Structure 1
Amino acid sequence: MIAFNVVIPARHASTRLPGKPLLHIAGKPMIVRVAEQAAKSGAQHIWIATDHHAIANVVHEHGFKACLTRDTHISGTDRIAEVVERQGWPDETIVVNVQGDEPLMPPELIRAVAQHLHEHPECAIATACHTLHDEASMRNPNIVKAVLDKQGNAMYFSRAPIPYPRDAFAAGVGLPADLPVLRHIGIYAYRASFLRDYGQLWTTPVEQYESLEQLRALYHGYKIGVVIADSAPPAGVDTAEDLQAAIEIFKKTVSCE
């Protein structure tokens, strides 16, 4: 099994669900549930990167490690980069970013993106996608699509429908069955060397217009390898309804503690 670390960025502030990382799911705070899923992936080290003392305290109480980071970070990637630097991890270290609101992220997928990056030294980042089959999802701007090159690396990510089936849509016949439409799954594996460089990369207009941070890496010439998953993982927790759905899933698999 390859060696890799997981860092879970967790902010206390949330406009739709304040204090989200500390909300309980089947008897444990959500951030702890995320860390437990990450632990099943076989990661060597798991760190929670947070700027909030209450989150750090609850993480420590449940036997996980937390790094109190600066409160000025613009993104979770910047927060992860601070952990990498403070821990002094070598440039070749593989670091998987698991979002702090993804308590149902499959451990197999965490391991798969780390493995993919390990097997593709030409890539600085690895992520995941799965195949889309319906036109409504393809046209949904909240669902990010990806187009790959022949090596399976990302060419572009967009909220727009890509690749665009011009003739089929003009004829009103819907989405062709053989069109390679891929939905992006928001999990990333990075090399520590890339994370050290990340803070020096300027933000690009296309990243700002699409509101997609990964486009910065592509713009600056970094390769992003893509794992094709069989299906999408369960949704993350952004709303009270999402939280209740996660609770119901956990009730079926664990006992409340």
Structure 2
Amino acid sequence: MNPLVLIPARLAATRLPDKPLLDIHGLPMIVHVLKRAQEADVGPVAVATDTPAIADAVRDHGGLAVMTGTHHASGSDRIHEALGRLDPDGRHDVLVNVQGDLPTISPGAVRASLQPMADVEVSLATLIAGIREEADRTASHVVKFIGTALGGGRHRALYFTRATAPWGDGVLWHHIGLYAWRRTALDRFVALPPSPLEQREKLEQLRALEAGMRIDAMEVAEVPLGVDTPADLEKARRMLAPGAAA
């Protein structure tokens, strides 16, 4: 494999305006995500954005940024355009999509997402972690992964849902929205129309499953903090404070 890591970022958040540029201990949040991705050391890293201020912040801290259109409906569409701009000759066969609001993502989690891609039957790979909080078992904002364990912490995806599933005793898996894409699969995915279950559950990955693409997931120990609110931002600042426990 010859992976490329792409971080989509824009200034569209309403609950936390200018989210990617908000300060966390002297660095914009998007730069923290960039640094975690670089520390994973799996390949080149770039930020894909439609906002000059985000690109400037990334470049000011030595990172690579690529400008994309403002019309994209999802991060997958944005990284697809960025990939074409950065690598028109197709040298990179795997793309890792790291969300730009995950400043606490661990480098190990980024690396873990690539493990299933050694299997040529896997179109894309993602991450899961066991749900520990009782409230998260029924929360609709916590996406649950349903799949078949393959051993070694790897699972084959059967479904993703906002409902509490599967029924019965056992672990419930929290899906983490970080994806490793085979380039050919991403090309196919962005050309497909939104699927019925994708529209019903508001989960983009169901388009891939409905189209027959294989998704595998790797277990990781923790769910990274997604920053969506001012309270999340303050928590991220505490977690990333100098001397804070990892």
Calculate the TM-score normalised by the size of structure 1: 0.88
> Quick check: 1:18 aligned with 2:8?
no
> Quick check: 1:131 aligned with 2:134?
no
- Once the two structures are overlaid, the 10-residue window that deviates more, 141-150 or 120-129, is 141-150
Structure 2 residue runs without a partner (length 5+) = none
Partner of 1:206: 197
Partner of 1:157: 160
Partner of 2:51: 52
- The separation in 2 between residues aligned to 1:133 and 1:26, in whole angstroms, is 29
Q: Aligned partner of 1:238: which letter? A: D
Offset, 1:103 = 0.6
- The separation in 2 between residues aligned to 1:137 and 1:194, in whole angstroms, is 31
- Offset from partner CA, 1:182-226 (integer Å, 9 cap, x none): 111111110111121122111112111101000000000000011
- Match of 2:17, SS state, is coil
Q: Give me the CA root mean square deviation.
A: 1.7
The structure that has the greater radius of gyration is 1
- The separation in 2 between residues aligned to 1:66 and 1:45, in whole angstroms, is 11
- Once the two structures are overlaid, the 10-residue window that deviates more, 182-191 or 210-219, is 182-191
- The separation in 2 between residues aligned to 1:44 and 1:5, in whole angstroms, is 5
Partner of 1:217: 208
- The separation in 2 between residues aligned to 1:18 and 1:133, in whole angstroms, is 30
State the identity %: 39
Q: Are 1:11 and 1:50, in contact at CA under 8 Å, matched by a contact in 2?
A: yes
The equivalent position to 2:179 in structure 1, one of 185, 188, 191, is 188
Q: Are 1:91 and 1:192, in contact at CA under 8 Å, matched by a contact in 2?
A: no
Residues 91 and 215 of structure 1, relative CA distance in 2, 3 Å threshold: farther
- The separation in 2 between residues aligned to 1:251 and 1:133, in whole angstroms, is 25
Partner of 1:64: 63
- Match of 2:217, SS state, is strand
Q: Are 1:120 and 1:225, in contact at CA under 8 Å, matched by a contact in 2?
A: no
- The separation in 2 between residues aligned to 1:58 and 1:232, in whole angstroms, is 26
Q: Are 2:113 and 2:126, in contact at CA under 8 Å, matched by a contact in 1?
A: yes
> Quick check: 1:231 aligned with 2:230?
no
Offset, 1:180 = 3.4
Calculate the TM-score normalised by the size of structure 2: 0.92
Q: Are 1:48 and 1:56, in contact at CA under 8 Å, matched by a contact in 2?
A: yes
Aligned residue pairs total: 239
- Offset from partner CA, 1:36-83 (integer Å, 9 cap, x none): 010100032111000001111111111111110000000000000111
Residues 34 and 92 of structure 1, relative CA distance in 2, 3 Å threshold: closer
> Quick check: 1:245 aligned with 2:228?
no
- Offset from partner CA, 1:115-165 (integer Å, 9 cap, x none): 222x22101100011122554321111111111135421000000111122
Offset, 1:92 = 6.2
Offset, 1:5 = 1.5
- The separation in 1 between residues aligned to 2:36 and 2:142, in whole angstroms, is 24
Q: Are 1:17 and 1:239, in contact at CA under 8 Å, matched by a contact in 2?
A: yes
> Quick check: 1:4 aligned with 2:3?
yes
- Match of 1:154, SS state, is strand
- Offset from partner CA, 1:3-32 (integer Å, 9 cap, x none): 421100001121111111111100011111
What does residue range 64-143 of structure 1 map to in structure 2 within 5 Å?
Answer: 64-86=63-85, 87-88=87-88, 90=90, 93-117=93-117, 119-133=118-132, 135-143=134-142
